[in-house]
Amino acid sequence: MLVTALLTTLLMTDTVTLDRVRNLDEVLIVSNERGKRTRSVKGAVAGIDEHLGELRNVNLVRRGSYAWEPVVNNMQTERLSTTIDGMKIFYACTDKMDPVTSYVESGNLQSISLNSGLDGNPQATGNIGGSLDLKLRKVGFEADPRHVSLSAGHEWNGHLQVYGADAAFSSYRTYLNTGVFYRDADCYRVGGGELLNYSQFSKVNLFANAGLRLTDNDVLETTFIFDRATDVGYPALNMDVAKAQGLITSLSYKHLFGWASWETKAYYNHIIHIMDDTTRPDVLIHMDMPGDSWTTGLYSLLTTSVGQELQHDVAVNYDLYYNRLFADMTMYPGGAAPMYMVTWPDVGTLNTGLAVTDNVSVDSRQSLRLSAKVAWQNQRLNNQEGYNGQKVFFPLMTDHYYQTTGRIAASYQLSIFNSQFSIGTGWGSRAPTVTEAYGYYLNNTFDQYDYMGNPHLSNESAFELNSEFSILKSEFSVSLNSNVFLFKDYIIGRLDDRLSAMTVGAEGVKVYRNLDHATIANLSLTADWQITDRLTWNGKLGYSAGLDDEGDNLPLISPVAWRTQLQYGTGRVQTELEVRGNARQTNYAPKYGETQTESWNIVNLSVQYQVNSGISIRGGVENLFDKRYSAYSDWNNIPQKGRNVYLNLTIEL
């Protein structure tokens, strides 16, 4: 993937401070010309899900108003890698109610970087669709000695309140930044005014990053994040969440050689996820469904530049992690004995990998990027009861498995005249996820089937081709972007009518299978026009397709989507008019239980006013015409927010 295809959202205004030891992505964040535009109009107060939505190629699966699941190139969590500053972290909910991005807060982050496709960041494994890395906000050494920022936001629809405070201290030898954030929302009203029950949430987040410069060339850094969401409603699901709690910690050591920089980080994180159906009426059988995920690991990254005429920016990364996932379910039928099953059989995954990337600057007009990773994985089922249960379905299974996965990608970029051309290709594989391999009767409310993991699955692999062609003029640019993924052994659930559904009301049981082949392709056209000094326009049109081995549509593939923005800015005031929408979903997948989503368009208005260098106010109206709609990625077609007025205030001291 070419460097320009690396997309980033800037969460912070202009206070991005670089560490002495940089990696390529971080350099790109500041130099990214798109930076200003790909920031959420709501500023830092916006939720992390809203920031994710600003990334190109990203859609979000919404099960409520909290914890949206990022979809990159029309691929969900299982085909993506998500890391936090290179740290592996895995969600703890068998129903995917807690994508790992929900365990951080925008205020914890400096940026989110996305590598599209198989060219992942060095720590990424299993990234076919792309890899997200959430880059933590570190004030760094020799920044402002003291800096305090306060933020507050209110959204009238759903009475969302956001409060944040953080402080940073920096010197030549040490730095510390720490903050606390709070979000709380009631249920929101959908277009037309109807209240959507169970769409509330509440969240508290604490973080601290600290650094100590031991010598001029040696740095010690540590991270601590505690994040707890409580009373989170999921209107698209049958149950809510009582508590979703993440603890994320790390300690890293960086050394600067004359010729290279070397970072080694050890980390630990633990997620506890507790579902709750006690507030729902008409619950047939009350259930307890806790999940637990903990991960510990390390990576060691060496980056260097070599060569004179042909300059190579090389990064070599070794990583190792051990993750453990356990989930169980206790059901309480009225009067009768409780029923118990293990849904994730305490799966221990030990994974280690070696990655290399090389950016070659051939000359001022041409560049080449190569990346490769190979990873080995050992999985063990530590819970005997869960293992025995699954063995009923797979009598030949064992309690441990080994997998080898890898990826390799290359891309070439050429700039001539006023145009830029790039082409890339890659191949990569991923091991089945714990849900796909060992999940036990996991009910999927999307298609109303119970899903059984299949320990005999083969690794899924994909061959990717991508290209970008841009015409860049001073006041106008247009770019055509395309990629196609040709899958082998694509993993998806298929009906097994031999099996009987467990969940009351479920249609049947699906077992994960390898499809011989499948295809996902994405095409997007973007244009930017600087109409006058103050007026700019941009537009984007996207088309996607996903087909299984029989030529039928895959589920959750975006319909034709567009987004256009007209921006008018004077020095202190920035205003924006945005229209976004989807065409009627014609490429939906009834075979996989998907229902058709109608077309929609909404209009958003926003204004930003910079009172002085320290104070800025952002306000706006989303869904101006109070349209009732749901996007294709809204789980069970739950409607989106109706008209929403917001006002956000940021104070920097």
Closer residue to other proteins (CB): 290 or 455: 290
Closer residue to other proteins (CB): 339 or 531: 339
d(CA 214, CA 196): 54
Task: By CB under 8 A, name the one of 274, 577, 624, 651 that touches other proteins.
Answer: 274
502 contacts other proteins (rule: CB under 8 A): yes
- Cβ at position 399, least distance to other proteins in Å: 12
Closer residue to other proteins (CB): 378 or 467: 378
Which range binds other proteins by CB under 8 A, 381-389, 463-471, 476-484, 568-576? 381-389
498 contacts other proteins (rule: CB under 8 A): yes
Closer residue to other proteins (CB): 31 or 388: 388
495 contacts other proteins (rule: CB under 8 A): no
285 contacts other proteins (rule: CB under 8 A): yes
Task: By CB under 8 A, name the one of 484, 501, 566, 615 that touches other proteins.
Answer: 501
> Which amino acid, residue 185?
A
Nearest to 500 by CA among 492, 491, 511: 511
388 contacts other proteins (rule: CB under 8 A): yes
337 contacts other proteins (rule: CB under 8 A): yes
Closer residue to other proteins (CB): 193 or 338: 338
Nearest to 423 by CA among 80, 81, 4: 4
395 contacts other proteins (rule: CB under 8 A): yes
Give the N- to C-terminal CA distance of the chain in Å, as an integer.
40
Which range binds other proteins by CB under 8 A, 181-189, 219-227, 387-395, 640-648? 387-395
What kind and span of H or E run contains 446? none
Q: Which string of DSSP letters, residue by residue, matches 503-554?
A: STT--EEEEEEEEEEEEEEEEEEEEEEE-SSSEEEEEEEEEEEEE-TTSPBP
The total of other beta-carbon atoms located within 10 Å of residue 561's CB is 18
Q: Which string of DSSP letters, residue by residue, matches 129-149?
A: SEEEEEEE----TTS-SEEEE
- Cβ at position 263, least distance to other proteins in Å: 27
Closer residue to other proteins (CB): 191 or 246: 246
- Cβ at position 134, least distance to other proteins in Å: 23
214 contacts other proteins (rule: CB under 8 A): no
Binding mask 77-106 for other proteins (x = CB under 8 A): ------------------------------
614 contacts other proteins (rule: CB under 8 A): no
Closer residue to other proteins (CB): 321 or 387: 387
Binding mask 555-594 for other proteins (x = CB under 8 A): ----------------------------------------
d(CA 558, CA 74): 7
> Which amino acid, residue 249?
T
Count residues contacting other proteins (CB under 8 A)?
A: 39
Rounded to whole angstroms, what are the CA distances from 131 to 4, 98, 118, 258? 15, 17, 8, 30
Task: By CB under 8 A, name the one of 169, 182, 224, 393 that touches other proteins.
Answer: 393
Judging by beta carbons within 10 Å of its beta carbon (0-12, 13-18, 19+), is residue 395 exposed, middle or buried? exposed
- Cβ at position 223, least distance to other proteins in Å: 20
Nearest to 171 by CA among 137, 208, 210, 143: 143
Task: By CB under 8 A, name the one of 283, 504, 535, 611 that touches other proteins.
Answer: 504
340 contacts other proteins (rule: CB under 8 A): yes
- Cβ at position 384, least distance to other proteins in Å: 9
- Cβ at position 103, least distance to other proteins in Å: 15
Query: Three-state DSSP class for 351?
Result: strand
Task: By CB under 8 A, name the one of 171, 197, 404, 500 that touches other proteins.
Answer: 500
HEC string of 201-247? EEEEEEEEEEEEEEECCEEEEEEEEEEEEEEECCCCCCCEEEEEEEE
- Cβ at position 267, least distance to other proteins in Å: 16
Nearest to 19 by CA among 303, 337, 354, 368: 303
Structure tokens at 234: 């999921």
d(CA 76, CA 61): 9
Task: By CB under 8 A, name the one of 89, 239, 342, 492 that touches other proteins.
Answer: 342
- Cβ at position 453, least distance to other proteins in Å: 13
508 contacts other proteins (rule: CB under 8 A): no
Residue listed under structure tokens 């930017």: 528
Tell me which residues in 435-474 interact with other proteins (CB under 8 A). 441
Tell me which residues in 173-192 interact with other proteins (CB under 8 A). none
Task: By CB under 8 A, name the one of 35, 290, 424, 542 that touches other proteins.
Answer: 290
Closer residue to other proteins (CB): 274 or 465: 274
User: Sign of the C-alpha dihedral, residues 132, 136, 137, 142?
Assistant: negative
Task: By CB under 8 A, name the one of 216, 258, 364, 392 that touches other proteins.
Answer: 392
> Which amino acid, residue 613?
S
Nearest to 286 by CA among 278, 296, 274: 278
Residues 6 or more apart whose CB falls under 8 angstroms from that of 243 comprise 228, 229, 230, 272, 273, 274
- For 333-418, where are the E strands, in sequence order? 339-361, 366-381, 400-416
Which range binds other proteins by CB under 8 A, 268-276, 403-411, 425-433, 604-612? 268-276
Asked if residues 564 and 604 have their Cβ atoms less than 8 Å apart, the reply is no
Closer residue to other proteins (CB): 114 or 325: 325
Task: By CB under 8 A, name the one of 22, 34, 147, 243 that touches other proteins.
Answer: 243
Residues 6 or more apart whose CB falls under 8 angstroms from that of 273 comprise 91, 92, 93, 97, 98, 241, 243, 244, 245, 290, 291, 292, 293
Which range binds other proteins by CB under 8 A, 159-167, 310-318, 383-391, 583-591? 383-391
505 contacts other proteins (rule: CB under 8 A): yes
Rounded to whole angstroms, what are the CA distances from 122 to 119, 133, 372, 588? 9, 10, 9, 34
Write out the residues near other proteins by the rule CB under 8 A. Answer: 243, 245, 270, 272-274, 285, 290-292, 294, 326, 331, 333, 336-342, 385-389, 391-393, 395, 441, 498-505
